[in-house]
Structure 1
Amino acid sequence: MKIKRHFAVAGLIAAGALALTACGSDATNTPSGNGGGSSSSSGPTGTSSVECGGKQKLVAEGSSAQKGAMDVFIQAYGQKCSGQQLAYSPSGSGNGVKQFNGGITDIGGSDSALDAAKGETDAAKKRCKDNAAWNLPMVFGPVALAYKLDGATGDVNLTSDVVAKIFTGGITSWDNADITAANGGKALPAKPIKVIYRGEDSGTTDNFQTYLGAASPSVWGSKGAGKKFVGGVGQGAQGSAGVADAINAADGTIGYIEWSFAQDKKLKMAKLNGSALTADTAGAAIKSATVKGQGNDLVLDLKGLYASKTEGIYPLVLATYEIVCSKGYDADTTKAVKAFLTVAATDAQSQLADAGYVPLPSDFQAKILTAVKAIG
């Protein structure tokens, strides 16, 4: 069941019109169809068709960050293609990659693209019967620095260096001088900081640590990124929901968590280098993201964005990928995967803002549809 997040969505909807650098400008089309046949309907700038049918129940697993978006996608898919289903398990990005590469699932969900250095790309190619797997960023969402600090009034601002120090144990109290300086000399309550991190392999962790490496290299240093938290301090919690619950349960806590989960629990969220997390600041960040993948493998390069301290941009955003075979599925699975992804990239996008996500920028939506169409 979809959970509605109550926050300003005007900027999120506006973000749907933003174009990602290096993306094409093909017209975006809206599909239609049901049952085993095909039909067409008018979209914003053209028409397209979706071939429903094939495998009746697809299986996908992975990122918990995209769970709310997948709920929206699944609902739209069932409405567009009567009788067709997709079962999604939000077990974390690490499991999403492992289950896809192991041939257990039809689609893998991950907050980071397949990692060639870890053998994930080669394993995916083998799973796809010696064909490339593609990383398709279908869901965009900001990552909040959520906290609970009783007695603190007004907004809390943290610099990227302060965040890096907190998550490596260099700052252990909320009244630390660096935090006071970041808040214009206003001291926060003298309470110990309790770091909460994702205990399992997580693409959100990978993005967060990539951010720290880009935004605060002098503090984060050589710790690197990866799906496993390497900061060395704090308490692990399972999944995004577990992190939200852990933050909400104890005074003095702080953790990195997707905006939608922070909204659900009504958690306070820190400013980052003076920029509050809003629809507009997140949308501005997504606008500046670039594509580094080749062809239909739409891997994003977020490091330049993460290093930005530009006013009005909240740089800590992640893109959640659907990992699919470019070729190598059987015919029924191919048909169903293409139908699901087409519906997710078009009909379902208008509902994402209410679920706490940023709709696909229109030009990037066209890139996704081109890739989906090319799945053989």
Structure 2
Amino acid sequence: MISLFNRFYLLGLGAIALVLTSCNSGESSNSPKDMAGNASAGDALLGAGSTFIYPLFSKLFSVYHDSTGLKVNYQSIGSGGGILQLTNKTVEFGATDAALNEEQTQKISVPVLHIPMCSGAVVVSYNLPGIKDTLQFTPTLLADIFLGKVKKWNDPKIASVNKGVSLPDMPIIIAHRSDGSGTTNIFTTYLSKVNNEWNTKVGKGSSINWPVGLGGKGNEGVAGLIKQTPGAIGYIELAYALQNKMSYARLQNKSGKFITPSVASTSAAGNIQLPADAKVSLTDTDAPDGYPISGFTWAIIYKEQKYNNRSQDKATNLVQLLWWNIHQGQQYCEPLHYAPLSQSAQSVAETILKSATYDGKPILTEQ
């Protein structure tokens, strides 16, 4: 059987649609008691957005269809694309690594729920042939590299925090996202927090004007650029780096420690009390052992699910799917290098999902 990550290369860098079908089985104690089974073809759910969470969603939707028969078609097109498709009401749910900003919220004009699915790490990956040491970067150094101020790998600024490493006299080539991306939002939010020059000259957002570099579509595209380009450095989701055996750096956090990105250090960054709407940034964490470029991925849905002639069954299927994701689905996070929701984050996610309505009435009446 072809592995998930080999499929990325076989299918290219475009949008990847995942269509899953199967049969019905039982439920567990965390499922709504009225979970639907044996869903028909017309009940298939459509979603789009984050490439960051695509490996996890692939697993979750595969397991879920085996137990309910519900088909899920998810397009890995980037957070910006997912927000746009939800705005246009062409999908049932979006997935984004950046909470909706004020402009996006006003454009949708009705309440949208942000349900946290997991948290993950954005790693700084590089391609330096012959270098076996794990490089490390300070916040200032990382910003200077992506500002184009540090142009060669043997620059004294890199050498000073990587003592004993034989760095090559090779140009640094920046790889970044070309599409609207929550991964970009997490990365640039971090740089804006830790570096005043970046904050004033470049700023943060899902799409920015990059000072230097080459653009790739999706985490897959940036990973491909890094792998194919000696001297390249870029930012990608941890799972992509691990599954493709790519090098990635340790980063100095606010406590002064150089932290290796991992499920444990990502969990440490995300072990905070969430606000009621779950919209919070985990970057530049105060946690002593937390990895500093971490973030939540949210599923986003309309709070009122009666729109565009949608049936109540479809709305119920959607909310039950997301309920399952934040409960039974959490067991699949760690094997794929995502941090599962903390107990407090799960509790906030439950409350948010229970606020979803159909014709003004709560969809989840029993759980």
State the TM-score bracket (shorter-chain normalisation).
0.7 to 0.9
Shift, 1:332, TM fit: 2.5
Give the conservation status (yes or no) of the 8 Å contact 2:265–2:290: yes
**Does the alignment pair 1:165 with 2:152?**
no
Hey, what does 2:52 align to over in structure 1?
A: 65
Partners of 2:34 and 2:331 in 1: how far apart? Answer: 18
The correspondence for 2:205, drawn from 226, 230, 236, is: 226
Residue 87 of structure 2 aligns with an amino acid whose one-letter code is: N
Hey, what does 2:218 align to over in structure 1?
A: 239
Runs of 4+ in structure 1 deviating by more than 6 angstroms, as ranges, are none
Q: Secondary structure at the match of 1:300?
A: coil
Shift, 1:311, TM fit: 4.7
Q: Secondary structure at the match of 1:236?
A: strand
Hey, what does 2:89 align to over in structure 1?
A: 103
Give the conservation status (yes or no) of the 8 Å contact 1:2–1:72: no
Shift, 1:229, TM fit: 3.5
| 1:89–1:48 distance in 2 versus 1, CA, 3 Å | closer
**Does the alignment pair 1:316 with 2:293?**
yes
Partners of 1:70 and 1:135 in 2: how far apart? Answer: 16
Give the conservation status (yes or no) of the 8 Å contact 1:134–1:324: yes
Hey, what does 1:349 align to over in structure 2?
A: 330
Partners of 1:214 and 1:187 in 2: how far apart? Answer: 31
Paired positions, count = 328
Give the conservation status (yes or no) of the 8 Å contact 1:334–1:375: no
Q: Secondary structure at the match of 2:95?
A: strand
The correspondence for 1:183, drawn from 162, 166, 172, is: 162
Shift, 1:195, TM fit: 0.5
Deviations 1:244-295 (A, max 9, x none): 111111211110000000111100011101211223222211114x434xx4
| 1:258–1:147 distance in 2 versus 1, CA, 3 Å | same
Q: Secondary structure at the match of 2:113?
A: strand
The correspondence for 1:365, drawn from 342, 346, 350, is: 346
Shift, 1:103, TM fit: 0.6
| Alignment gaps of 5+ in structure 2 | 7-22, 253-257, 358-367
Deviations 1:173-213 (A, max 9, x none): 01111111122364511111011001111111111000000
Q: Secondary structure at the match of 1:112?
A: coil
Partners of 2:250 and 2:153 in 1: how far apart? Answer: 15
Identity of aligned residues (%): 26
What are the within-5 Å matches in structure 2 for residues 186-197 of structure 1? 186=165, 188-197=167-176
Give the conservation status (yes or no) of the 8 Å contact 1:40–1:50: no
Hey, what does 1:291 align to over in structure 2?
A: 274
Hey, what does 1:16 align to over in structure 2?
A: none
**Does the alignment pair 1:51 with 2:35?**
yes
Hey, what does 2:65 align to over in structure 1?
A: 78
| 1:242–1:375 distance in 2 versus 1, CA, 3 Å | same
Q: Secondary structure at the match of 1:136?
A: strand
Give the conservation status (yes or no) of the 8 Å contact 2:202–2:211: no
Give the conservation status (yes or no) of the 8 Å contact 2:281–2:295: no
| 1:307–1:365 distance in 2 versus 1, CA, 3 Å | closer
Residue 119 of structure 2 aligns with an amino acid whose one-letter code is: F
Partners of 2:268 and 2:213 in 1: how far apart? Answer: 32
Hey, what does 2:281 align to over in structure 1?
A: 301
Residue 327 of structure 1 aligns with an amino acid whose one-letter code is: E
Q: Secondary structure at the match of 1:319?
A: strand
Partners of 1:62 and 1:208 in 2: how far apart? Answer: 17
| 1:355–1:39 distance in 2 versus 1, CA, 3 Å | closer
Q: Secondary structure at the match of 1:146?
A: strand
Hey, what does 1:27 align to over in structure 2?
A: none
Partners of 2:166 and 2:26 in 1: how far apart? Answer: 62
| 1:40–1:59 distance in 2 versus 1, CA, 3 Å | closer
What are the within-5 Å matches in structure 2 for residues 329-344 of structure 1? 329=306, 330=310, 331-344=312-325
Partners of 2:76 and 2:5 in 1: how far apart? Answer: 18
Root-mean-square deviation over aligned CA pairs: 2.4
Residue 280 of structure 2 aligns with an amino acid whose one-letter code is: L
Hey, what does 1:30 align to over in structure 2?
A: none
Partners of 1:156 and 1:217 in 2: how far apart? Answer: 24
TM-score, length of structure 1 as denominator length: 0.81
| Alignment gaps of 5+ in structure 1 | 6-33, 126-130
Give the conservation status (yes or no) of the 8 Å contact 1:214–1:307: no
Stretch of structure 1 that moved more, 276-285 or 196-205: 276-285
| 1:356–1:327 distance in 2 versus 1, CA, 3 Å | same
Hey, what does 1:281 align to over in structure 2?
A: 265
